[in-house]
Amino acid sequence: MELLATNVCFDGEHRRYRHTSATLQCGMEFAVFLPPVALGENGKSVPVLYWLSGLTCTDQNFMQKAGAQKLAATLGLAIVCPDTSPRGVNLPGEDDSYDFGTGAGFYVNATEQPWAPHYRMYDYVTRELPQLVESELPLTGERSISGHSMGGHGALICALKNPGLYKSVSAFAPIANPMACPWGQKAFTGYLGEDERAWQQWDATQLIPTAQERLPLLVDQGTADDFLESQLNPEALADVCEKFHHHITLRMHRGYDHSYFFIASFIDDHLNHHARALGLA
């Protein structure tokens, strides 16, 4: 872990790191917020919220725009923000569109060439990155996960596929049913191939029926989100949760869009949701 920058923030520290990822076979950057209680000679280890960002984002969007650090500092909660895809692996077509390739890893493990050796963001965010940061930083190993849009999809599938790994899960405007929307269909075809049976393990609506752990889902969605009808499908997630008795709190917020203005407006609710599960509140 090479430290790139440190900023004092609400008496805690926002840090950016670089490391070489064995999983993705490239260099990766990520951000960490450490609350004040974790710093100094007498600092103690704290639980962590992993935040997965959306299409085109890097680790910096959430840290600069969400306004999460003030409450996280008070709660004693660390936040880790990975990037959204491998960077600079120079694959053909990698930078041709905003919704596939660079900045659009979709938190799956690709099986199709030429993506398979590098585009393994699922293994990266559930295994390699936690092992790295929890061995090098004052973190307890107790985890929660959240995210936005593509990252909301990522948070849901990471929690549903890994019983016991996270204490809680939430999402802002997640791509809730990627098999049934253009973003998901494009990404899944490219990374996973044409056989839709292979897609099912990466779609929250397909994972709910057989989920071995039923963490309550907190999902916030704006009614003025330009992608609500065409890409996000929160109703499909709510319907399958109701059918299989998986608790979900789906909150529709009148007038809010897909931006970080929306996330900043309700991030404290999500932090408190995770803090309760992590024993901080």
Catalytic residue chosen out of the listed positions 118, 148, 258, 270: 258
Residue 95 falls in the annotated catalytic set: no
d(CA 163, CA 136): 24
Q: Identify whether 114 is preceded by a cis peptide bond (ω within 30 of 0).
A: yes
Residue 96 falls in the annotated catalytic set: no
Are 26 and 117 in contact by the 8 Å Cβ rule? The answer is no
Are 280 and 76 in contact by the 8 Å Cβ rule? The answer is yes
d(CA 173, CA 166): 20
Residues in the chain: 281
Residue 253 falls in the annotated catalytic set: no
Q: Classify residue 1 as exposed, middle or buried by CB count within 10 Å of its CB (0-12, 13-18, 19+).
A: middle
Catalytic residue chosen out of the listed positions 85, 144, 149, 168: 149
In the sheet with 26-34, reading across from the earlier edge strand, the strands are 2-9, 12-21, 26-34, 78-81, 46-52, 139-147, 169-172, 217-222, 248-253
d(CA 36, CA 12): 4
Catalytic residue chosen out of the listed positions 53, 59, 225, 270: 225
Q: Which residues are catalytic?
A: 149, 225, 258
